[in-house]
Every structure is written in structure tokens, then in C-alpha cells.
Amino acid sequence: MANKVLNVVLMCAGKSSRLGLNLPKVILPINGKSLIERTIKTLQHLKPKKIILVVGFKKDLVIDLVKSLNFRNIHIVEQKKQLGTGDAVKKAIAKMDLNSQLLVLNGDTPFVDLDTIKRSIRDFNKKNLDLNFATTKPRDPFGYGRIFRSKNRKIERIIEEKDCNDEQREINEVNSGLYLFKTSSLKKFLPDMPKRNGSEYYLTDLIEIFSRNNKKITTTQVKDDRRFLNINTIDDYRKAHELDKIFFYEECIKKNILLKDPFSIVIDQDVNISKNVSIGPNVQITGKSTIDQGVVIEGNCLINNSKIGANTLVKPFVSIDNSIVGKDCQLGPFSNLRPDTILSNQVKIGNYVEIKKSNIGNKSKVPHLSYIGDTDMGSSVNIGAGSITCNYDGFDKHKTTIGDEVFVGSNTMMVAPVTLGKKSTTGAGTVLSKNLSENTLGITRIKEKQIPNWNRKPKIKK
């Protein structure tokens, strides 16, 4: 019968010396998210009983990072001396339940895909195996352990790059660094691992030991070898950033999301984008933002922790922070929605307009050069160009309430606290400091004088 309990060992103790940064590579961010966070997030989908992290080199950096991420079921095991991947696993499984399956993964493979892992588990359970491990045929096998098979394709052993002779180096099937063991078999054969280079233990030597002892071994063929890029050198680290963007781009294409310039766009992992969205160059969408169907974001926009409703058009140079935008709205160019702004549907916020902590009702328009703060605005309101709410008296913030279908003339100063009743109107240039009743015109204009034959004094050049 197949073992069902799954434990995971993630090997993160290595010195990362080929990278030359004097840091454990698993803490390095790829487009803002560390290798270890990416890998653990993927592994969590398997609902393992335990994820055991083997740490060693600069372990506190790794432990602190993982703690800050608040994952469940993480157990830390220390490998004090970095004596190789075989030794790392030895340290990890000391107290492990024998009646379980153990997934072992290199910590430097951040894009590992669930599809390969699931296929490996399926094969393992179907055939009651002792070992299944993932292999791939990359275009350039340099650096990987080569898979050595007998003439009848039986797996015999893995030969590490540095131990290969010229002929073996020609083998293009390589070890991807993902292994699924029957824990009891692993425990039985771990002590048989030979010492290499005086003190090291290669986990990969177990393949030959299992094979010699006629244990049941199969391999899972990785479908997309890019998923098993392991980060050894600074060049691998650079490639990882590009690959991450490419994977995201490919996912977007599947969902019918168009990224017009994928390498200039930054989208956080927790952002949710629906289908038929189009995003132009230099857009950053961060935090827990949601972009609904059919939204068009033209370019150079910042959207943080905000929701954009379906079919809204966001023109260039718009900043939206901690706000909610309804359906079919039009924003920008150059609009600034500051925290706690809520726009209902079909709202238009135009150029050089700042909105803060305000509700704007359906079909209302603030098209040009305005500041609206601490305001409750009804529906179908029109705010003339240059109008502002004077919400701050130097000590406190005050509220402005604007009823439905109000027409605010250009350059109106609404001195808060103030209420504009339904369908009221203000004349251009009004300084409104008293409440305005429904259907009333508020106007504070001094009588216009016209002085004929007025000649300005000629300019005298100094």
C-alpha cells in the first residue's frame, strides 16, 4: 500500500559560494520575493505534514526571514558544517516517521512547478516505489548531475559534473534536484553513502546504492526545464529575474491579459487581475490590489492596495492608493486618488485632480484641477475647473457634503464644514462658507466694475 503522509525537506544550508555575495542564496529576492518564500508557497499546496528547512550558513538570516513570513508547519534543522546534500538530508530526517513519503528539494530552485511534483507523487503511489526523482534535458546541461542509465534504460547512478569524464559530460539527461523517497528505504541506505573529497556526502550517490540493492526507482520527466533553474552563479540570479517576468507574461496571455511592455511592469504576487485587462508600460500594481475585467491601464500608473472596477479606463500618470474605483469610470491623465477614496460607477476624475478620503457618487465628474478632501458627494454632480474643498483650518479637518445633481461653478472654494443641498448651484469664483439649500444658487461675487479708457502705465526698463 502506498504511504500517504508527506514530509518535505528543503535544503538551504549551503554556503552559496559560487554566487560571491557572502549571503545564503535562499534569502535573495527575485523581483521582490525571496527564493525561499517562493518555494515554500509552492510546497504548501501539497499540504505536507512538515516542511523541514535545513539551515546552516548564516542561518539567522534565513530563520528570521522565514519567521517573518508566518508559514505553518515549518521545522528548522541545523546543519552546522556544510558537508553536502547527503549530509543535509541525514540531519533532517533523524526523527522522521518511517511510514511516510519524503520529498527532498534543493532550496535554490525557486520556480519548481507543482505539476512535476504531483506527477512524481502519482507515480510513486501507483507503483509503490522506493524513489522517484525528476530529470530533464536542458539545452545546456553544464553544472548538473548527469543521469547514467544502462543499455536497457535502467537508472544506474548520477554522476556530478565535476566527476564526469568527457564522454559522460555528453549525457544530456540531468538531475533536477527533486526527489521523493520512501522514508524507510532512505533511512536504511543513508549510512551507506560514501565520503567524497575527504568529507562531503552527495545525496545523488543514493541513486547508485538504491539501484544496486534493486530498489524500485523511476524518474519523472520535467516538461518545462526552465522551472528547474537552480541559482548557483550571479548570472543564474539575473536569469531568474527575467524568467520570473516571462512566466508571469505567459500566465497573463493564458488569461487574456495584455502586458504591453512586460519588462517594465511590476505586479506583486498578491495582485488579482481578471481577464481582458490591458496594462501599458511602467505600471506598478502592488499590495492586495484587484483589477476587474476589461480594465485598461494606459501606462505610468501606480496602484497600491486598491480595487479597480470592470471596464474602467485609467489614463497615464494616475496614482491610486488604498482606494476603491467602481465600474466604467475614467481617470486621468494625472489624477491622484489618496487613501480612503471610494468612487462609485461611471465617475470621471480628470487631469490634475486630487481626491482624498471621499465618496464620489455615480456619474459625478471632477474633470479638471480640483482638490476634493473629506467629502461625501452624491450622484451626477459636476465640479467646475479649479474648485476645491477648503477642508483644513490649520487645526482640524472638516467635512463637505455635496447633494445629487449639484453644479459647482469653476473656482468655487467650499469652506468646510459646509453642505450643498440637492440640485444647488454655485457661481464661478464663489467662496462658499454657509450651507446651501436645495435648488439654490450660491454666489459671492463682488459687483464688476468697468472703467473705460484704462491705459496701463508704460513699462520702464530698469
- Residue 135 bridge partners (DSSP): 175, 221
For cell 480640483, name the residue: 370
Nearer to Ca ion, 177 or 309 (CB): 177
Contact 131, 217 (CB under 8 A): yes
Q: How far apart are CA 307 and CA 277, in angstroms?
A: 13
With CB cut-offs between 5 and 8 Å by kind, which of ligand UD1, Ca ion, none does residue 304 bind? none
Stretch that binds ligand UD1, among 75-83, 123-131, 207-215, 437-445 (CB under 6 A): 75-83
From candidates 7, 34, 39, 82, binder to ligand UD1 by CB under 6 A: 82
Kindly tell me which residue out of 37, 108, 374, 405 binds ligand UD1, with binding defined by CB under 6 A. 108
Smallest gap from Cβ 112 to Ca ion, in A, equals 12
Q: Binding to Ca ion by residue 175, rule CB under 5 A?
A: no
Q: Is 368 a catalytic residue?
A: yes
175 binds ligand UD1 per the rule CB under 6 A: yes
> Does the protein bind ligand UD1 through residue 177 (CB under 6 A)?
yes
Q: CA-based angle 324:316:261, to the nearest 5? A: 105
What is the smallest separation between the CB atom of 17 and ligand UD1, expressed in angstroms? 9
CB-based contacts of 355, cutoff 8 Å, min separation 6:
335, 336, 337, 338, 341, 343, 349, 366, 371, 372, 373
Nearer of residues 12 and 301 to ligand UD1, judged by Cβ: 12
Instruction: Return d(Cα 179, Cα 201) in angstroms, integer.
Output: 16
By CB under 5 A, is residue 16 in contact with Ca ion? no
Peptide bond into 191 cis (omega under 30): no
Q: Which residues between 323 and 382 bind ligand UD1 (CB under 6 A)?
A: none
Residue 313 touches which member of Ca ion, ligand UD1, none, C-beta under 5-8 Å by kind: none
Is the link from the previous residue into 417 a cis peptide, with omega within 30 of 0?
A: yes
Shortest Å, Cβ 49 to ligand UD1 = 21
* Single residue of 82, 135, 136, 230 touching Ca ion by CB under 5 A: 230
Shortest Å distance, C-beta 39 to Ca ion = 13
Q: Binding of ligand UD1 at residue 230 (CB under 6 A)?
A: yes
SS3 367: strand
- Distance of alpha carbon 407 from alpha carbon 417, whole angstroms: 18
- Rank residues 92 and 267 by Cβ distance to ligand UD1 and give the closer one: 92
Site string for Ca ion, 318-337 (x = CB under 5 A): --------------------
Integer Cα distance of 430 and 386 in angstroms: 11
Q: What is 77-146 written as a DSSP string?
A: EE-SS---HHHHHHHHTTT--SSSEEEEEETT-TT--HHHHHHHHHHHHHHT-SEEEEEE--S--TTSPE
When CB distances are held under 5 to 8 angstroms depending on the partner's kind, the choice from Ca ion, ligand UD1, none that residue 11 binds is ligand UD1
Instruction: Specify which residues 386 forms β-bridges with.
Output: none
**Min. distance of Cβ 111 from ligand UD1 in angstroms?**
12
CA 236, CA 109: separation in Å to the nearest integer?
A: 11
Confirm or reject binding of residue 108 to Ca ion (CB under 5 A): yes
Contact residues for Ca ion, defined by CB under 5 A: 108, 230, 232
Contact residues for ligand UD1, defined by CB under 6 A: 11-14, 54, 79, 82-85, 87-88, 106-109, 144-145, 158, 160, 174-177, 202-204, 230, 232
